[in-house]
Amino acid sequence: MFKGWFQRTTATVAAHVEGAYRNGNTTLIELRNVSKTFETAAGPFTALDSITLNVDRGEFVAIIGKSGSGKSTLMNMISGIDRPTSGEVFIGDTAVHTLNESEMAVWRGRNVGIVFQFFQLLPALSLVENVMLPMDFCAMFTPRERHERAMMLLDQVGMADQAHKLPAAISGGQQQRVAIARALANNPPIILADEPTGNLDSKTAQQVFALFERLVDQGKTILMVTHDSDMARRVSRAVILADGRIVNEYVAQALSTLTLDQLGWVMRHAETHTYAPGAIILKQGEPADNFYIITKGEVEVFIDHPDGGEIIVNHLSSGAYFGEIGLLREGCRTASVRASFVTGCEVAVLDRQEFHTLLAESETTRHVIDRVAHERDAHTRAAEASAL
């Protein structure tokens, strides 16, 4: 369903991450090892499993995943509507998971604007009263300023001329625009939107999405749960959830032909290994055992020169894989791979059996990896021939 767009999305993410390093620490939302387990009649159920996530100020992030993958639970951890069973949630300098109920309500009212799929405007209040409500609740601004500000926000979403109507008198798209104005009432840095366009026709959904884009341009940080792959493609970053875990963005990039279920399977089975700069990961001539996806840093691929020394045949970075040739041929390694002397590397590793299980599940992935292996092999032979 989401095939084809991982590559573009993840490339944008990579560019963004580099930007973040250049600009120093711009992290606004930080989840550290967050897990959430619900007690159910059938026993404990883990909805979020060791989630670690950083979102920078000004990012527009789509949260994607199948129904039940944990998207709403994740949003609730960030808004403080629900608390993690373990792990930590920091928003700016605030340790959200440590706030008591009354501190939480005040903190949330000032820092997070929430937009729901079904708008949730209070039916007995006019539109302008609905937008004033969060300011009243948090005692922000003077009463007169509250009215002026609510009118200004309604104007921003194109609804000022209907300010005194009741919600029932306007369309769904208009109600959602008012709900966005309400979310902006206390000028929070973060907007959390749970399927904000899920109940709108596509034209209205586009207008609401464009409104979010404008808010990001104005400096807001937005996390939006969506099932709409077109929208997910247009944001700065997509976070994919599968069975309560975040699918590593580089794993998604490397295996972009897999379904969300299959990516979830990879995340459950892959082990993470870290290699120091210059460490040998696999050696030419040794039996092939594992498949590797680079999730951090770079590697060098090289072959032995018949007269001694080595011939470098490739450099690979995050989002690339290696180790496939020996596994596909059920043979030995045709080249050696070592972690870059500059960056070292981190890899997600599947063993031989897991690799073959995956290819049996996804014919397209088998086809793509086969082709890459073929091209790489030809490239290595050519590099070898020209070095002799």
Ligand X SMILES: Nc1ncnc2c1ncn2[C@@H]1O[C@H](COP(=O)(O)OP(=O)(O)OP(=O)(O)O)[C@@H](O)[C@H]1O
Positions in the binding site for ligand X (CB under 6 A): 38, 40, 45, 47, 65, 67-73
Of the pair 19, 68, the CB lying nearest ligand X is at 68
What residues contact 100, with CB distance under 8 A and at least 6 apart? none
Please report how close the Cβ of residue 101 comes to ligand X at its closest, in angstroms: 17
Q: b vs e for 373-384, b when ≥16 Cβ sit within 10 Å of the residue's Cβ?
A: beebeeebeebb
> What is the Cα–Cα distance from 124 to 168, expressed in whole angstroms?
9
Q: Which is nearer to ligand X, 67 or 202 (CB)?
A: 67
Q: How far apart are CB 143 and ligand X at their closest, in Å?
A: 38
Rank residues 77 and 282 by Cβ distance to ligand X and give the closer one: 77
Distance, CA of 321 to CA of 319 (rounded, Å): 7
For 287, which DSSP code?
B
CB of 62 to ligand X, least distance (A): 13
Minimum CB separation of residue 188 from ligand X in Å reads 22
CB closer to ligand X out of 51 and 270: 51
Closer to ligand X by CB, 73 or 111: give it.
73
13: its two tokens? 């993410």
What span, in angstroms and rounded, lies between the C-alpha atoms of 8 and 366? 21
Q: Which is nearer to ligand X, 72 or 340 (CB)?
A: 72
Least CB distance from residue 235 to ligand X, whole Å? Answer: 17
| C-alpha–C-alpha distance, residues 108 and 327, integer Å | 51
DSSP character for 288? Answer: P
Minimum CB separation from ligand X for residue 34, in Å?
13
CB atoms closer than 10 angstroms to residue 94:
15
Nearest to 62 by CA among 251, 276, 212, 274: 212
